[in-house]
Homo-oligomer: A and B are copies of this chain.
Amino acid sequence: MSGIADVARLAGVSKATASRALSGRGYVSETTRNLVAHAASEIGYVVSSNASSLVTGQTKNVGVVVPYLNRWFFAEMLEGIETALIEAGYDLTLYRLTDDVEQRRKVFEYFLVRKRVDAVIAVSVALSESEVTRLKSLGKPLVGVGGHAEGMTTLSIDDVAAAKLATEHLISLGHRRLVHLGGHPEEEMDFPVHERRLAGFRDALEEAGIPPTGTFQPSSFTIDGGYRAALRMLTDPRTRPTAVFAASDEIAIGLIVAARQLGIRVPQDLSVVGIDGHDLADMFGLTTLEQHPKRQGRLAVDLVMEELAAGPGAARNRSVTVPVDFAPRSSTTAPQGARP
């Protein structure tokens, strides 16, 4: 395995000059630069990022913490982050954070802190206060996506407003019997998105003067979860709503599949609106609010790069809100009998 000393020897210059020539820093004559570059490619030289990181203190590596990999939102987000990081010349080290306390502690204490990452992007993970301070104490940028944790830069949609908007869409169509199919506030890693979307839903109900009792049904944030929750909810025709606001498109899709299976027509018998902008929304004709997670991922990387460039002195508690796009499709319409 050849090192920079070999390159220097072959080019007939010192290690210092070889280093400058290859990294582009400092004064090097055009001739020498070419000489060194040629020598390097001759022996297939590549820098040891370890040695380089050791002295510069930069690892050119960003840690990304994610709770799930097999859900649309997270996969898209990760893809956006990965693409942007590669473009910026950074590596991506992936950690999946479960709710296993021991594994979680291990990831934090053992991995993230080991001076191996320049920054951390946490996707939809509710970090504990001690976890945040631990990370911040290293002086490394910490950007959260999808959660408004205190004391760190965050990037997300306005969940309350989005939920309210979706609900208002249903109400404006004439619906009065609404249900929100969403994550249980105290389950699923106590992630605050659940309660925010519920809050936005309740806000809209309240403003329309609709009583909130019996309007919430818990569901796991997956297609299968939405399907099972829908089967439970739709079997009794007397309590069946005319419209459902699903907390995610995956829930909404599961609901639509269940409804079709039960012979309930969407949208004639049941209007459905979701949040996400899932790839499959079009296929199911799902009206939704697109939140472009891929784009959010790129944006999160931008924020990281800004903080990295600003150096350790800068203020780091921005809170960026990204807009959602309303994408009306065929899954929502006025309730039966409300039309003349």
Binding site for B on A (CB under 8 A): 1, 46-51, 53-54, 59, 61, 69-70, 72, 75-76, 78-79, 82-83, 86, 91-96, 103, 106-107, 109, 111, 113-116, 222-224, 227, 254, 257, 260-261, 279-280, 282-284
Q: A116, B70: Cβ atoms under 8 Å?
A: no
Q: B94, A94: Cβ atoms under 8 Å?
A: yes
17 contacts between A and B (CB under 8 A): A1-B115, A48-B114, A48-B115, A49-B116, A50-B50, A51-B54, A54-B54, A70-B75, A70-B76, A70-B79, A78-B94, A79-B96, A82-B96, A86-B96, A86-B107, A224-B282, A260-B260
Chain B residues in 8 Å Cβ range of A103:
86
* CB of A263 to closest CB in B, whole Å: 11
Compute how far the CA of A168 lies from the CA of B284 in the bound complex, rounded to whole angstroms. 32
Compute how far the CA of A109 lies from the CA of B82 in the bound complex, rounded to whole angstroms. 17
Chain B residues in 8 Å Cβ range of A83:
96
Q: Say whether, besides A94-B94, A257-B257, A260-B260, A283 and B224 are in contact (CB < 8 Å).
A: yes
Q: Say whether, besides A114-B46, A116-B49, A93 and B96 are in contact (CB < 8 Å).
A: no
Assembly of this chain: how many copies?
2
Q: A46, B115: Cβ atoms under 8 Å?
A: yes
* CB of A131 to closest CB in B, whole Å: 15
Chain B residues in 8 Å Cβ range of A49:
114-116
* CB of A273 to closest CB in B, whole Å: 20
Name the residue of chain B whose CB is nearest to the CB of A55.
B50
- Partner pick for A75 among B69, B86, B224, CB 8 A cutoff: B69
Q: A69, B79: Cβ atoms under 8 Å?
A: yes
Compute how far the CA of A72 lies from the CA of B72 in the bound complex, rounded to whole angstroms. 10
Chain B residues in 8 Å Cβ range of A79:
69-70, 96
Compute how far the CA of A47 lies from the CA of B110 in the bound complex, rounded to whole angstroms. 10
Q: B50, A115: Cβ atoms under 8 Å?
A: yes
Compute how far the CA of A91 lies from the CA of B92 in the bound complex, rounded to whole angstroms. 10
* CB of A73 to closest CB in B, whole Å: 10
Q: A72, B70: Cβ atoms under 8 Å?
A: yes
